[in-house]
Structure 1
Amino acid sequence: MPLTSNNPHDPVDIAVIGAGIIGVACALRLARQGRRVVVIDHQDPGQGASFGNAGHLATEQVFPIADLSILKRLPAMLMDPMGPLRLDWKYMPRAMPWFMRLLLNLRPAPFQRTVAGIRALNESSLGAWQRLLQAIARADLLKEDGSLLVFERPESRQAIDGLQARMRQQDVPVDLWQASEVREVAPQLSEHLQGGLFFPRTGHFLDPYRVVCELVKAARASGVQFIKQQVVDGRVQQDGVSLLTHQGSLTARQVLIACGAHSARLTNALTGKKVPLDTERGYHLMLPHEHERLPFAVTSLERKFIMTPMADGLRLAGTVEFAGLDSPPSMERAWQLHRLSKGLFKHDLNAEAATPWMGFRPSLPDSLPIIDKVCDGKVLLAFGHQHLGLTQAAVTAEIIGRMVSPVGATTVHALPAVEAYRLGRF
């Protein structure tokens, strides 16, 4: 069956594969540029990683998830199922080629390219989100009130000072807070905290899933269609792209692959390129009875997890698990987040009626996404944003919009150059 827009005589311009935050943001952008757009996903919009992310607009996180110390941590990653960075030993044979690429990208020159690439996207992310939310009249969903990284041990002060220096070298706005300043702003935190780093140009979303829903609502109003089907194959043709689903054959002039951790197979089918895409499995624990504990997102340096205040309670999130797409979730890792919170507050958090969750963060070994236009412009790519998908979604949509409509300014705002995010780097 041919894929058509609301008017059966008008062929669809762009089929977006993936109804997460990046796919939906891109679809809305393209529709408002006059394109006829359809979004295809086997799930309802926002039901993947976009549903359960930490909700933190993490513009300060300009460094890769790992450094060379990962070699020393490898035994603990394999042996400790509750550790902040875990590699399932059963998945190790499949993961090792990816980890070898990661290690190669930690050499000085590629590491600096990675940092520059992440920083370029992050520096544009807050402004892009402001524009996007204002365009759908939902600026209230984002609280631009900063975030805080706290530390508990006096001996951690050296690490805090080092991180502050590295952040300033990358022009990341950061302030060192003493313990008294932390207590003044977040009085429910433990008095044992030594201080922290405050990042003023960050923020948090009150409900990440609601953000997706509001973008879907705006996209539908702009003519975007949403189809609940699973794309199983595809091929590039002379006049466009043909996609195969379990329900039949779909065609469009262009395709945007934005299905996160599930993007590698379709990318290979359409472009012939095998991308080294893996998944950082992330967990959260939602505490519905905690509404007044924190004024903004707070991360623990030593415990390596984040706590974000949201409309429906307090979300504890973090940890990275490498176990692939097929292994069942280890929900004990989500409950471990509550145990990690003990001692960070004057009174322990209430975990009554708490709900655990796990999702797949798409990750490439150089910690940069793929944002590109290939196959004579018929195939667009926007995936691999690792744990920064929410942060970088709005600016990615603007970049994709520029790729589709390069003639005539689609935005008056400066956007990052795309060379660092090309498919051809693999």
Structure 2
Amino acid sequence: MTQASPDPKASPQARPMVDTGFDDADIAVVGAGVVGTACALALVRQGLRVRVLDSDAPGMGASFGNAGHLATEQVFPIADASLLKRIPGMLMDPLGPLRLDWRYLPKAAPWLMRLLWNLRSSPYQRSVSGIRALNEVSLAAWQELLASIGRSDLLCGQGSLLVHEKAETADALAASATRFAAHGVSLERLDGEEVRRRAPGLSERIRGGLFFPDTGHVIDPLQVVKELVRAAEAAGVRFSRAAVQGGWADAGGVRLETNQGRLSVPRVLVAAGAHSASLVAALTGVRVPLDTERGYHLMLPREVERLSMAVTSLERRFIMTPMAEGLRLAGTVEFAGLERPPRMERAWQLRELARGMFARPLDETNATPWMGFRPSLPDSLPVIDRAGPEGRVWLAFGHHHLGLTQAAITARLVSQFISPEREPTKTALPSLAPYRLARFAR
């Protein structure tokens, strides 16, 4: 459901939905990204008959192009108090790390005002607590999930680095370390020599960094979704290519209007990422202030073994993640909505940002750019909840740039909507209170 530029032949082809009327599924999952597919697998394991609907093949939206980093260290909201003074630069610099399209400003303004309102001390700390509660169990949840489908090899859990190059940013790095540690994030402070010992390809320009041991990355985000689909289909989940265009819910069930006809089911789970807001409004009456961070990446297929862990640059504000098919450069953010075409110069700019980070230049041969949509709410917390008549509308969306990180634990939380006792887990589950839809119903 997300605009992207991958090869469609690389993804699993879901069966078309040709039947209409009352479906034989117990629940329809709208959205076949990493969150939706993980939830579908969790629900079928709870004994439900599950059908997944998406206008695209599984994993071909934001899940295809994410940075691959399991960013459990990122416990802070998507913006801080410095955002206000940065807005003029966001409007003026089309290739900056954070861009706001001036044509989108009138539509984005209410969302930005809510974002700024949530930067007050009390709501900001609630957001930090809510993000942290999910993140601190996210890596373990992924390890359990991938082990359960026999694909633990898709996850590398040996940590990640945040590095700096300039003498004048040493204080900023130290302040970041103090801030992370104050919120329970495990880290080690490293000098430049130790950074290069752990990431030998990095340049002598690197003066130091932070190592986060409780993070990791996946070696192929799309393959992760494919493997979840494989396991889900083997357990009985059906995947259908259908665009959900609207719907309504009442005490008798849920009706979904699709481009293949009307579908009736007892329950629905909305996990459609950045495309969730209109359907949630139709089904629950709640207008969720959902906007999108347009993220870009550049894939370097010739750089398969340059790094062994994800590396983020403090000054350059981007991340480099090693994957099975090359090195992925990612991290720029653009606010321009769902309709405007991608500005691929932003993806190619990542090539410039990477120059000088390594002891020898990167091989940029056959590099490919991409853009996708990250679903963002102004308090930086997802919606994970049951709503609508008799709790028939289930919700799992709005994870912003932590969709991959939080997908497995979100699936565990959603599966608890059936019965907390049906499937034992080693992962302690956080309270759902911070992620309720009702916070937007006032």
Summarize the Cα distance change of 1:205–1:412 in structure 2 as closer, same or farther, 3 Å threshold: closer
Q: Please say if 1:299 is aligned against 2:299.
A: no
Structure 1 residue 123 corresponds to structure 2 residue 136: yes
Alignment partner of 2:312: what SS? strand
Q: Are the aligned partners of 1:401 and 1:410 in contact in 2 as well (CA < 8 Å)?
A: no
Q: Unmatched 5+ residue regions in structure 1?
A: 5-10
Q: Secondary structure at 1:404's aligned position in 2?
A: coil
AA aligned to 1:370 is V
**C-alpha distance in 2 between matches for 1:184 and 1:371:** 41
In 2, Cα distance between equivalents of 1:404 and 1:241: 17
What's the counterpart of residue 254 of structure 2?
241
* Identical residues among aligned pairs (%): 62
Residues 33, 410 of structure 1: 8 Å contact kept: no
**Match of 2:435?**
421
CA distance in 2, matches of 1:146, 1:276: 34
Cα drift, residue 349 of structure 1: 1.1
Give the counterpart letter for 1:182 in structure 2. Answer: V
Equivalent in the alignment of 1:150:
163
1:166 aligns with 2:166: no
The CA distance in 2 between the partners of 1:197 and 1:410, in whole Å, is 35
Aligned to 2:404, what secondary structure does the other structure show? helix
Q: Which residue of 2 aligns with 1:8?
A: none
CA distance in 2, matches of 1:131, 1:72: 43
Instruction: Decide which of 184, 194, 208 is 1:195's aligned counterpart.
Output: 208
| Residues 257 and 382, structure 1, Cα contact 8 Å, conserved in 2 | yes
Q: Does residue 1:274 correspond to 2:274, yes or no?
A: no
Counterparts of residues 275-354 of structure 1 (less than 5 Å): 275-354=288-367
Please list the CA deviations of residues 186-234 of structure 1 after superposition, one character each: whole Å capped at 9, or x if unmatched.
2211101111000000001000000000000000001000010001111
Q: How big is each residue's C-alpha offset from its partner over 1:263-313, in whole Å with a ceiling of 9 and x where there is no partner? A: 000000000000000000000000000112111000000000000000000
Q: Secondary structure at the match of 1:425?
A: helix
- C-alpha contact (below 8 Å) 2:140/2:427 kept by paired residues: no
The alignment partner of 1:62 has SS state of: coil
Give 3-state SS (helix, strand or coil) of 2:111's partner.
Answer: helix
Q: Does 1:52 align with 2:52?
A: no
Shift of 1:152: 0.4
Within a 5 Å distance, the mapping from 1:53-202 to structure 2 comes to 53-202=66-215
**Contact 2:46/2:418, CA 8 A, preserved across alignment:** no
SS of equivalent to 1:39: strand
Gaps of 5+ in 2: 1-19
SS of corresponding position for 2:353: helix
CA distance in 1, matches of 2:25, 2:208: 54
| Structure 1 residue 46, shift from structure 2 partner | 0.3
Q: 2:415 aligns with which of 381, 397, 401?
A: 401
How big is the shift at 1:153? 0.4
Q: State how far apart, in whole Å, the 1-side matches of 2:200 and 2:161 are.
A: 13
**40-49 vs 344-353, greater mean Cα deviation:** 344-353
Deviation of the 1:411 alpha carbon:
3.7
Distance in 2 of aligned mates of 1:394 and 1:3: 30
- Tell me the CA shift for residue 412 of structure 1: 5.3
Instruction: Name the aligned partner's letter for residue 362 of structure 2.
Output: L
1:409 and 1:193 map into 2 onto residues whose CA distance is 46
| TM-score, normalisation: structure 2 | 0.94
In 2, Cα distance between equivalents of 1:228 and 1:404: 26
What's the CA shift for 1:319?
Answer: 0.9
The letter for the 2-side match of 1:264 is A
Alpha-carbon shift at residue 413 of structure 1 (Å): 3.3
- 2:266–2:392 Cα contact (<8 Å) kept: yes
Q: Secondary structure at the match of 2:88?
A: helix
Separation (CA, whole Å) in 2 of partners of 1:19 and 1:184: 40
- Following TM superposition, by how much is the alpha carbon of 1:404 offset from its aligned partner in structure 2, in angstroms? 2.4
How many residue pairs get matched? Answer: 420
Q: Which residue of 1 aligns with 2:233?
A: 220
For the aligned residues, what is the CA RMSD? 1.0
Give the counterpart letter for 1:348 in structure 2. Answer: P
TM (norm. structure 1) is 0.97
Shift of 1:141: 0.1
The residue aligned with 1:379 is 393
* SS at structure 2 position matched to 1:403: coil
Name the aligned partner's letter for residue 398 of structure 1.
Answer: R
Distance 1:284 1:3, change over 3 A: farther
